[in-house]
């Protein structure tokens, strides 16, 4: 017969084996492949080229290189795809060891903000101004010019960018044009019924207070940001939608108030996030705000996290997004 002590040891060993097996069975964090990254962000790169005249191939290659195909800590936890450091930055930050210990990096709400800020970083700083003398199809000149202007310290930076562009045919996107509805066009801006349509953006020429650029979230849902003077009715009329559609797509009621800066979706949100695994809830942040931020239906967000609908979980909670 076994003694009680020996039986206890055996049971403990079996228990530990179950724990180890369970941990081993847990799915590992999904890794984004290079081809997946290109597919996810090519339209955004094309849109940035249309607006800021930076080759889409350069934007994509820099994103791949700087973010490790979107798998770096900066990309995952700060939505920073280009390794841009703080440099007089007033927004949120993330500290990480880089060239020096504990360096300050910019943190964005969405990866789209990172792509836009990358474009502004190049267009607003004088040392990069000579790059815009190059054609958007001359990716080699851009790659070498970025190193010359001091974007990166690695002496091989130009060749790394050029190799990525040529290996994955990224230069095809330097001449490709994508409209807001995803249909290719030969011209970078097509005039249609008093509207200018550019990649992922629709701008109405009348009543400047109600000009809205249509963009895509990282969850591939079209939205606009409300401006001063906007109402739900004006937005619905501008995009030829029913008021009920705006309310339904945005989990709103007639009692809700529209504020400047609010995200308003023009199509149904998704059941889960395609690119972001979780979100840490901030102080005074509601699930409704998080639902709008990531383009996820509010009820689905509650269901994904086994929460009682209408109750907001505490700050610091890790919220599952997919």
Other beta carbons within 10 angstroms of residue 280's beta carbon come to 11
User: How are beta strands 190-192 and 103-106 bridged, if at all?
Assistant: unpaired
Given this structure, which CATH class describes domain 278-320?
Answer: alpha beta
Q: Which residues, 6 or more positions from 239, have their beta carbon under 8 angstroms from its beta carbon?
A: 266
How long is the chain? 322
pLDDT score at 237: 84
Give the integer Cα–Cα distance in Å for 313 and 40.
Answer: 31
pLDDT score at 115: 93
User: How are beta strands 222-225 and 263-265 bridged, if at all?
Assistant: antiparallel
Give the integer Cα–Cα distance in Å for 47 and 69.
Answer: 19
178 - beta bridge partners? Answer: 184
300 - beta bridge partners? Answer: none
pLDDT in tens, the chain (322 residues): 545 555 455 444 544 444 444 433 333 456 889 999 998 899 889 989 988 999 999 999 999 999 999 999 899 889 999 999 988 888 888 888 877 888 899 998 888 889 999 999 999 889 999 999 999 999 999 999 999 999 888 999 999 999 999 999 999 999 876 443 333 333 333 322 333 333 333 333 333 334 677 777 767 888 888 887 778 888 888 888 888 889 999 998 878 888 878 889 989 999 988 888 888 888 888 888 888 888 999 999 999 998 888 888 888 888 998 8
- From residue 100, alpha-carbon distances to 81, 85, 149, 157 in Å are 19, 12, 20, 19
DSSP 247-297: HHHTT--TT----TT-EEESSPPBSS-SS--EEEPPTT--HHHHHHHHTB-
Residue ranges of the domains in the chain?
A: 34-174, 190-265, 278-320
pTM (2 d.p.): 0.51
Give the integer Cα–Cα distance in Å for 281 and 248.
Answer: 24
pLDDT score at 179: 40
DSSP 193: T
Query: CA angle 320-263-124, nearest 5°?
Result: 105
pLDDT score at 29: 52
pLDDT score at 20: 42
CATH of 34-174, one of 1.10.530.10, 3.30.920.30, 2.160.10.10, 3.30.70.580: 1.10.530.10
pLDDT score at 176: 78
Q: Do domains 34-174 and 278-320 have the same CATH topology?
A: no
pLDDT score at 80: 93
């Amino acid at each position: 017969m076994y003694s009680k002590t020996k039986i206890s040891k055996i049971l403990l060993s079996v228990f530990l084996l179950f724990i180890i097996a369970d941990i081993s069975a847990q799915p590992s964090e999904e890794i984004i492949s290079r081809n997946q990254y290109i597919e996810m962000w090519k339209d955004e790169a094309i849109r940035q080229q249309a607006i800021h005249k930076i080759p889409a191939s350069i934007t994509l290659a820099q994103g791949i290189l700087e973010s490790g195909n979107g798998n770096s800590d900066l990309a995952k936890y700060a939505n920073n795809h280009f390794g841009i450091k703080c440099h007089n930055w007033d927004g949120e930050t993330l500290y990480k060891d880089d060239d020096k210990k504990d360096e300050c990096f910019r943190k964005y709400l969405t990866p789209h903000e990172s792509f836009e800020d990358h474009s502004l970083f190049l267009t607003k700083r004088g040392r990069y101004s000579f790059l815009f003398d190059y054609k958007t199809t001359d990716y080699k000149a851009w790659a070498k010019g970025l190193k010359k202007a001091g974007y990166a310290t690695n002496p091989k930076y130009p060749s790394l960018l050029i190799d990525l562009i040529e290996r994955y045919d990224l230069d095809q996107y330097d001449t490709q044009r994508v409209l807001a509805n995803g249909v290719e066009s030969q011209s970078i801006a097509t005039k249609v019924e008093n509207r200018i349509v550019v990649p992922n953006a629709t701008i109405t020429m009348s009543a400047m207070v109600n000009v809205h650029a249509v963009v895509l979230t990282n969850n591939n849902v079209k939205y606009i940001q409300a401006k001063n003077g906007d109402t739900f009715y004006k937005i619905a009329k501008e995009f030829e939608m029913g008021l009920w559609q705006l309310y339904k797509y945005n989990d709103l009621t007639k009692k809700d108030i529209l504020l400047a800066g609010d995200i308003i979706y023009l199509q149904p949100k998704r059941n889960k996030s395609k690119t972001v695994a979780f979100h840490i809830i901030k102080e005074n942040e509601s699930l409704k705000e998080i639902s709008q931020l990531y383009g996820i239906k509010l009820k689905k967000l509650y269901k994904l996290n086994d929460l009682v609908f209408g109750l907001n979980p505490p700050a610091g909670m890790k919220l599952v997004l997919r």
